[in-house]
Amino acid sequence: MEKQIENEPYYHGLLPREDMKAMLKNNGDFLLRMSEPHAKGERAIILSMMVREEKQEAGMKHYVIRQTNGKVSIERFAFSNIPEMINFHLTKNEPISEKDPETAIKNPVGRQHWELLHEDIESTKKLGEGAYGEVHAGKLRLKSGTKVNVAIKMAKMESLTKEQIKEVMREARLMRGFDHPNIVKFYGVAAGTEPLMVLMELVDCGALDSYISKNPNLPPTKRMEMCCQAAWGIEYLHHKVVIHCDIAARNCLYGDGKVKISDFGLTREGETYKMDPH
**Catalytic residue positions, numbered:** 246
Checking 38-42 for CB contacts under 8 A at 24+ apart, the result is 41/158
> How far apart are alpha carbons 22 and 5 in whole angstroms?
22
Task: Give the residue from 149, 150, 116 showing the smallest Cα distance to 135.
Answer: 150
8-state DSSP, 115: B
Contacts of 103 (CB under 8 A, 6+ apart): 49, 51, 61, 95, 96, 97
- Kind plus residue range of the DSSP H or E element containing 233: helix 220-239
Tell me whether strands 121-129 and 268-269 are parallel, antiparallel or unpaired.
Answer: unpaired
Q: Coil, strand, or helix at residue 187?
A: strand
> How far from 71 is each of 78, 81, 87, 192, CA to CA, in Å?
6, 7, 15, 22
8-state DSSP, 203: P
Expressed in percent and rounded to 5, the helix, strand and coil fractions of the chain are 25, 30, 45
